[in-house]
Amino acid sequence: MAETRTLKIGIHGRNDYNYPESDYQMVKRARIEAIKGMSYTGPQVYQRLQRDNQNLEVIIRLDWAERVNERGHPSPEEFRDRFVPVMNNLRSVTTKFEVLNEPNHSTRIGGWGPTRADAENFNAWFLRVYELLKAACPWALIGYPGLAIPHGDFPDGDLGWVEVTRSAVNRADWLCVHCYWQTPPGQPENAQNHLSDAWGLRFKAYHQKFPDKIIDITEFGNSNGQSGYTLADGDMARQYIEYYQELFKYPYLNSASAFIASSPDPTWNSQGFSWVRPDGSFRKVVEAVGDMPRPPLVPAAVEEEAFVDPETGRRIVGLFLRFYQKYGLDICGRPITDRFMENGMPSQYFQRIALEEYESGKARLKLVGSEALASRDTIKALREQIGQLSQGMGIIGPPPIQDITDSLPHHPTKQYGTRALDQITLISINHTATGPTITPQRIAEVQVNQQGRPGISYHYFIAADGTIYQTNALTTVSEHTGQFSPESVGIGFAGNFTTDIPTDAQLGSGGRLCAYLLQTLHLNLEAIKGASELIQTQSPGLQWLQGRRWKDTLLEQTRAALAAGGPAVDLESLRRRIAELEGEVAQQKAEIARLEAQIAVTPPPVVARPAIEDVTDKLPRHETLQYQSRSVDSIQILVMHHSAVPASVGVERIASYYVQNLQWPGIGFHYFITAEGRILQTNALTTVSYHAKDADPVSVGICLAGNFTDVMPPAQQLDAAAQLCTWLLQELKLPIEAIKGHKDYVVTQCPGNQWDGGSNWRQALLDKVKAIQASLAAVPVSPAAKPLEHYVLFWQYPDSWAQKDWEGAENYIGRFRPTCGFSLDDALRARYVTIIGGPLGVSTEVEQLLRQSGCIVERIAGADEAKTKKILDDLAKKGQRFLTIVPA
């Protein structure tokens, strides 16, 4: 048995307003630790359960009782208006709320529907609902609902559906999963469906997709009864105990709730789900679960702080999030992947950079940019071609291809992922299932504008007249063959081949294209498949494998093209192309080195702590009442107030008003700023004082002395407020949007009409905070940290190098022993760089790059190699390392 566990033993509560007495007894007897309840159940039920059972966790499903479908889906605003009062009413028992239930079910039984379009619709709806609920109840944790399994139009059911809603799952605070299994009679003796990955342990597949999410299994059970099989009480008890014991092994599981305690609907009892029978007696499982061994409970790993990009829906966490917060959108661009494993390292791609965690807790930039990735792949392919050519092997040149990739419609925000060419193992043949005259332009329009795809699905499009169009780079992972898309090249043949087959011209071009791809990608004929051989689809038409069997024709044409070989390729032009591409890669590397150097030396800008006088212990406090306390991590908002009395009324008098007149534990605010700009601390940040109702637990109260109904705060007071706010934003790691007015949360005049109207001191405050932040960002960058002291850089080309200069530098090198070589990459890491020879060798661009990255650079170049040697020899003789530089 596991030594500790994170999993709480849960039960799905009765779907009713009230619970019968027997349900309360069952929860005690089974020693239930978590209950998943319905939003329409009365709060008194949960309050009693928590009184009776110490530490019982409550998770509430926000349930649209009359079913989502009957009047169409509720709008996000309707959903908010309905549930915010419910959530506030339940706040004393829980913070966790699951949004609806099994949305991938057909609309008939309360879902959104099983198709991709339904999933996309739900994704957008959930994101909006999340935003609205969080704005109204910042303390609440919003869960993505459990899906019906396996259910949906995708090859892998719920898992395909949830993938489409990835940004919703990422945004959610936690993830619900449903796990059901059946044990039909006549199954093999050893069938263990409750312990199989496809059924009882289906949550493992969700964890694979969303490894950072804490999972609550909000429904599980043996559903034999739904298919008319029986389940003996004893078997049920045994399976459920084995199941809970297995779940103890997964530290990302927080709870698992068996469906269902009891129900007013007798079906759930007759089908064998209910733990309590209608007569109040218990099934065997109750006693068995109550008596089973339980390792000590420890909390599930707290989910890491995360940022979800509003445009790409990708999620940034941990080390990469700290990097992103530090360097921002300008340097990184938006995240275009979630964190994933690449080359054995956690990695994440952004629009401008990519990061990898090469050691635990240490991140570095990796070489990227789609161009650089493509360049590396092309270099590899070209080198192989040169190798083959020099061995006298014939190679197949590409057939005429019109590259229209950039001119086709693309989605304004969505982007396909990318891949390396060696990930490709298949060529997937599709038909457009339209008339043969359809253009790639038209297909792309439909796929992007109507289906919301990032771009056209194919890599190549072959028109009826045999013209081949390239429509995506081979490194692009476009969606054309379901789960096989990442490893396949998609070729679309224009036409519908249900009864017809492609034209001779199309088949001829198709054969040449396939031959070229097979050779370039090192694949054999087996790699050519119809989409229908890989996934469930009609494409590329019934005539592919039956009737006129055009697969055979295409393979014949491919074989013929392979046998014919192709036009000879000019070796020299290949070499030139490689040199060009290597130049591009070198540029990228240099850019990375420059960014890394910048990162290594940029001191984190620090806002100085303003002068704060702590009067917390000197103010009047209530004799018996005390405020609750909190962790500073829970603070999300700074709430501004005015004292609403003349500024001459001091903090002492205000505090005693709260304590004596209002009977509060102490003054409501954390800080009080006098008209002269003195900042007083009046409560610890860890104190949950009263000043903004629902926002109290997550906010800091800052009060400016005075009444700002008709006038705005004086300059020195506003300056002090700006300094305090800027410092707090830094210390609490909050964005500037965290600065709010009291009236943003509660119906009140505070902090005065001039806050957001009239002289608008809200804007004045924000402008001052921004100005302080900007002045910090402008801190000058100190010289880059450079591991090498002095590098002497010589030029080289693929076919020649600075041999004479190298020989001429012999005395100089012998005298000063610098690091020498031809690598820009290495030179970038040196404090001083000596370039030998004129700009026809090492170019002025490279020189410029070195200077930009913080190197101190000197070029030594005579009129010819002999003159250069003379300069170097003179320096060596004089013992002077540099011509013009005076070393520090």
The secondary structure of residue 282, as a DSSP letter, is B
Q: Which is nearer to Zn ion, 8 or 641 (CB)?
A: 641
Q: Which is nearer to Zn ion, 164 or 750 (CB)?
A: 750
Query: Do β-strands 476-477 and 417-418 pair in parallel, antiparallel, or remain unpaired?
Result: antiparallel
Tell me how far, at minimum, the Cβ of 359 lies from Zn ion, in Å: 49
Tell me how far, at minimum, the Cβ of 728 lies from Zn ion, in Å: 17
Tell me how far, at minimum, the Cβ of 742 lies from Zn ion, in Å: 3
Which class for 620: exposed (0-12), middle (13-18), buried (19 or more C-beta within 10 A)? Answer: middle
Query: Tell me, what amino acid is at 429?
Result: I
Locus of tokens 């791609």: 349
Q: Which stretch binds Zn ion (CB under 5 A): 221-229, 266-274, 391-399, 746-754?
A: 746-754
Nearest by Cα to 184 from 224, 144, 157, 244: 224
Tell me how far, at minimum, the Cβ of 654 lies from Zn ion, in Å: 12
Question: How many residues of this chain bind Zn ion (CB under 5 A)?
Answer: 3
Cα 454 to Cα 120: distance, rounded to the nearest angstrom: 13
Tell me how far, at minimum, the Cβ of 688 lies from Zn ion, in Å: 16
Q: Which is nearer to Zn ion, 332 or 750 (CB)?
A: 750
Q: Which is nearer to Zn ion, 641 or 762 (CB)?
A: 641
* 776 SS3 class: helix
750 binds Zn ion (CB under 5 A): yes
Cα 22 to Cα 277: distance, rounded to the nearest angstrom: 9
Nearest by Cα to 169 from 103, 220, 257: 103
CA Rg, the chain, in Å? 34
Q: Which is nearer to Zn ion, 5 or 742 (CB)?
A: 742
Q: Which stretch binds Zn ion (CB under 5 A): 739-747, 776-784, 817-825, 861-869?
A: 739-747
Locus of tokens 């002090």: 720
Q: Which is nearer to Zn ion, 121 or 656 (CB)?
A: 656
Tell me how far, at minimum, the Cβ of 644 lies from Zn ion, in Å: 8
Q: Which is nearer to Zn ion, 378 or 749 (CB)?
A: 749
Q: Which is nearer to Zn ion, 659 or 855 (CB)?
A: 659
Query: What DSSP string runs through 215-261?
Result: EEEEEEEE-GGGGT----HHHHHHHHHHHHHHHTT-TTEEEEEES-S
Q: Which stretch binds Zn ion (CB under 5 A): 30-38, 343-351, 641-649, 673-681?
A: 641-649
Tell me how far, at minimum, the Cβ of 751 lies from Zn ion, in Å: 6
Q: Which stretch binds Zn ion (CB under 5 A): 281-289, 484-492, 500-508, 737-745?
A: 737-745
Q: Beta partners for 774? A: none
Tell me how far, at minimum, the Cβ of 647 lies from Zn ion, in Å: 15
Locus of tokens 């006098």: 674
The residue ranges of DSSP E strands in 273-401, in sequence order, are: 306-308, 315-317, 340-342, 345-349, 354-359, 362-366
Q: Which is nearer to Zn ion, 692 or 857 (CB)?
A: 692
Tell me how far, at minimum, the Cβ of 641 lies from Zn ion, in Å: 3
Q: Which is nearer to Zn ion, 315 or 691 (CB)?
A: 691
Tell me how far, at minimum, the Cβ of 642 lies from Zn ion, in Å: 7
Q: Are 767 and 715 in contact (CB under 8 A)?
A: no
**Per-position x/- string for 561-590, each x denoting binding to Zn ion as judged by CB under 5 A, each - no binding:** ------------------------------
Residue 857 token pair: 């650079």
Tell me how far, at minimum, the Cβ of 704 lies from Zn ion, in Å: 10
Q: Are 168 and 126 in contact (CB under 8 A)?
A: yes
Q: Beta partners for 417? A: 477
462 membership: H or E segment, kind and range: strand 460-462
**Per-position x/- string for 152-191, each x denoting binding to Zn ion as judged by CB under 5 A, each - no binding:** ----------------------------------------
Cα 322 to Cα 326: distance, rounded to the nearest angstrom: 6
Q: Are 12 and 257 in contact (CB under 8 A)?
A: yes
Q: Which is nearer to Zn ion, 36 or 641 (CB)?
A: 641
Cα 431 to Cα 381: distance, rounded to the nearest angstrom: 29
**Per-position x/- string for 663-692, each x denoting binding to Zn ion as judged by CB under 5 A, each - no binding:** ------------------------------
Tell me how far, at minimum, the Cβ of 735 lies from Zn ion, in Å: 22
User: Which of 194, 315, 641, 831 contacts Zn ion by CB under 5 A?
Assistant: 641
Tell me how far, at minimum, the Cβ of 722 lies from Zn ion, in Å: 19
Q: Are 477 and 419 in contact (CB under 8 A)?
A: yes
Residues 803-842 that bind Zn ion (CB under 5 A): none
Tell me how far, at minimum, the Cβ of 696 lies from Zn ion, in Å: 12
Q: Which stretch binds Zn ion (CB under 5 A): 61-69, 152-160, 636-644, 670-678?
A: 636-644
CA 777 from centroid of its chain's CA atoms? 27
Q: Which is nearer to Zn ion, 312 or 707 (CB)?
A: 707
* 483 SS3 class: helix
Q: What residues have CB less than 8 Å from 205, skipping those under 6 apart?
A: 159, 197
Q: Which is nearer to Zn ion, 131 or 744 (CB)?
A: 744
Q: Which is nearer to Zn ion, 213 or 742 (CB)?
A: 742
38 membership: H or E segment, kind and range: strand 34-38
**Per-position x/- string for 65-104, each x denoting binding to Zn ion as judged by CB under 5 A, each - no binding:** ----------------------------------------
Cα 379 to Cα 363: distance, rounded to the nearest angstrom: 27
Q: Which stretch binds Zn ion (CB under 5 A): 179-187, 387-395, 639-647, 670-678?
A: 639-647
* 384 SS3 class: helix
Q: By the criterion CB under 5 A, which residues form the site for Zn ion?
A: 641, 742, 750
